[in-house]
Homo-oligomer: A and B are copies of this chain.
Amino acid sequence: MERRRSPAEEIASCTCLRLRKATRRVTQIYDEMLAPAGVTIAQFSLLAHLMEGRDLSVGELAEGLVTDPTTLTRNLKPLLDRALVEISADLEDRRRRLIRLTPAGRQSVVTAHPLWRKAQTRVATLLGESDTARLNKALDHSLKRLIDN
């Protein structure tokens, strides 16, 4: 016996809106706690993706971050300006450009890492252990399906 919902009420159930609201708040928390290291969570994620193994092309890194490649190009700019990453052409395929951390970039990740851990703990405490686990699990499930569609 569900009564007819008004548009405003119905739209309050928007999955996208809920995701966006939660992401804004959580991003604020991480950004605040990472600030002493001079990076945002967006930048930290990007840099951290480069910590392991081989250099990545723009496309590969964009895929890893689930962003549009054009977004990544823009996001690299401030990191290049601060010399935390460097880019060179791939000699095998000169369309591709390979991104890698500079020593300063690597150092940024190392410096920010414990702050990131604190933010992670802070959010987990705020949400509670079990809700955090539930949220993370739900996101992992969802991402898997979202990414190849």
Residues on the B chain within 8 Å of A147, using CB = 25
Contact with B along A101-140 (1 / 0, CB 8 A): 0000000011001001001100110111001101111111
Which of A's residues lie within 8 Å of B, judged by CB? 6-9, 11, 13-27, 29-30, 41-42, 44-45, 48-49, 51-52, 65-67, 109-110, 113, 116, 119-120, 123-124, 126-128, 131-132, 134-143, 145-147, 149
Q: Is the interface of A mostly helix, strand, loop or mixed?
A: helix
Q: How far is the CB of A103 from chain B (nearest CB, A)?
A: 15
In the bound complex, CA of A97 to CA of B124 (Å): 37
Q: How far is the CB of A101 from chain B (nearest CB, A)?
A: 11
Known: A14-B45, A45-B14, A139-B22. A145 touches B127 (CB 8 A): yes
B16/A66 in contact, CB under 8 A: no
* Identity of the chain B residue whose Cβ is nearest the Cβ of A53 in the assembled complex: B8
Q: How far is the CB of A97 from chain B (nearest CB, A)?
A: 21
In the bound complex, CA of A128 to CA of B140 (Å): 13
Known: A6-B52, A7-B51, A139-B135. A20 touches B23 (CB 8 A): yes
* Identity of the chain B residue whose Cβ is nearest the Cβ of A45 in the assembled complex: B17
Instruction: Give the residue of B14, B109, B110, B119 whose beta carbon is less than 8 angstroms from that of A116.
Output: B14
Contacts A14-B120, A21-B65 supplied; 5 other A-B pairs, CB < 8 Å: A11-B45, A16-B23, A20-B27, A135-B138, A135-B141
B7/A16 in contact, CB under 8 A: no
